[in-house]
Amino acid sequence: MVNFPNAKINLGLRVVNKRIDGYHDLETLFYPIPFHDALEIVPVLKGKESSFVQTGLPIPGTINDNICLRAVALTRKRFPYLPPLNIHLHKTIFTGGGLGGGSSDAAFTLQILNDQFNLRIPEAELAEMALSLGSDCPFFLINKPCLATGRGEILLPALVNLEGYRIVIINSGIHISTAWAFSQVIPSKPEVNIAEILNLPITQWQEHLMNDFEVPVFRAFPVLEEIKQACISQGAIYAAMSGSGSTIFGIFPKGPVKSLKLPESCVFKWL
């Protein structure tokens, strides 16, 4: 059976505090979007060895570093009787773009193993396993709009619904280092929290709903600000960068797909 790990966007992202453990406390809203990878995990025939195949968009690093294999290894530590597995991951979610594609792949791997082999891992424990793989991995176990605090693992379901709008996601091919992006932000507690801002009409979000990473990232990569402004000038009600970058998304009124005028290097997808 093929599963389809999905991406997310961030509606607002504030870096509130740097913690003594080296991580940062955040405030954001994770919103799942229908942009998917494909993931198949099946037990191999008796006498055969495990295999992993990755197709589609390239993923930086070596095959052995793939987060799906790390999720399998983590599960196998607790359940060494898991059989050898054939895994096929097909990537279509832009990598290194702030869409959480790798985290989604990892969370789906954990969930598939739990369900397929009847491991009966409690939800709280599965979330702890997911968190050890990535700060936003636990969100994809819930996969509904959630306000996120802490490292991103403290999740509160939120009544935010964008089904009445079209979303476009735009990738410029720029890869932003998450560690670098965090090093450029000075943490500060916002005067108004994101939950309050999201209660405003969507037409007011552009003025109030901020991503703290945009200032340093746009300074280093001006084309990303150009893409954001192009969305706004061509009818987006709200446009922003997702996560620590570099994907830009725009929220447009429902209607026919627009032919956006963007820099030539851009790839975009309407949802």
Catalytic machinery residues: 8, 136
Closest by alpha carbon to 231, among 261, 206, 255? Answer: 261
DSSP-derived pairing of the beta strands 51-56 and 85-91: parallel
Triad 120, 126, 130: Cα angle to 5°: 150
Distance CA 109, CA 171 (A): 25
Backbone dihedral region for residue 187 (phi beyond 0: left; psi -120 to 50: alpha; all else: beta)? beta
Segments of 37-102 assigned E as strands: 38-43, 51-56, 85-91
Q: Helices 67-78 and 101-116 sit at what angle, rounded to 10 degrees? A: 30
